């Protein structure tokens, strides 16, 4: 066997070992991965002022907030009517609480 064939074999073996080390979940399309509940301490959530309960919104620091606004009536929310939580297009790997709120809230069209 030539050195060239040997090195090709080694390269292939290394590639296979590397492929095996990739977690299976990383190979799934984003939509197929299980979404986890969004935490208020998540850096992205914090930057947008996400809270799991809109009643906890501090109006002084969130002047756009109006009582009655919540994820359930936000255009970004994809949860089923009456569900406690659902997907949000702003946080694609997470679910948000229907009663939650963040600074990106935009009303759902009537
Ligand atoms: Fe809730 Fe809308 Fe903010 Fe998503 S964008 S977290 S649905 S208020």
Which residues are within 8 A (CB) of 102 and not within 5 positions of it... i.e. 6 or more apart? 45, 48, 49, 50, 51, 71, 90, 96
Reduced to 3 states (helix: H, G, I; strand: E, B; else coil), residue 99 is coil
Sorting pLDDT into bands at 50, 70 and 90, what band is 107?
A: very high
Nearest C-alpha neighbor of 71 from the set 46, 34, 110, 108: 108
CB 94 within 8 A of CB 106: no
Mutate to test the pocket of ligand 1, among 92, 104, 108 (most ligand atoms within 8 A of CB): 104
Residue list, ligand 1 pocket, CB within 6 Å: 50, 71, 74, 76-77, 88, 90, 96, 100-102, 104-105
Give yes or no for residue 21 having a pLDDT over 90: no
- Phi/psi-derived region of residue 49, left when phi > 0, alpha when psi is between -120 and 50, beta in every other case: left
Sorting pLDDT into bands at 50, 70 and 90, what band is 23?
A: low
Distance CA 8, CA 107 (A): 58
DSSP characters over 35-98: PEEPPTTSHHHHHTT-BSSGGG--TTT-TT--TT--GGGBTTB-PPTT-SEEEBTTSTTEEEET
pTM score, whole prediction = 0.73
CATH class of 34-97: few secondary structures
Give yes or no for residue 11 having a pLDDT over 60: no
Per-residue pLDDT at 110: 87
Per-residue pLDDT at 34: 85
């Amino acid at each position: 066997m030539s050195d060239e064939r040997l090195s090709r074999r080694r390269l292939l073996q290394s590639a296979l070992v590397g492929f095996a080390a990739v977690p299976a979940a990383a190979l799934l399309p984003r939509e197929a991965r299980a979404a986890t509940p969004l935490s208020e301490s998540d850096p992205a959530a914090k930057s947008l002022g996400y809270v799991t309960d809109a009643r906890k919104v501090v109006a002084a620091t969130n002047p756009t907030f109006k009582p009655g606004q919540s994820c359930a009536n936000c255009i970004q929310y994809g949860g089923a009517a009456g569900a406690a939580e659902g997907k949000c297009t702003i946080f694609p790997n997470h679910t948000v609480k229907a009663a939650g709120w963040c600074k990106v809230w935009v009303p759902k069209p009537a």
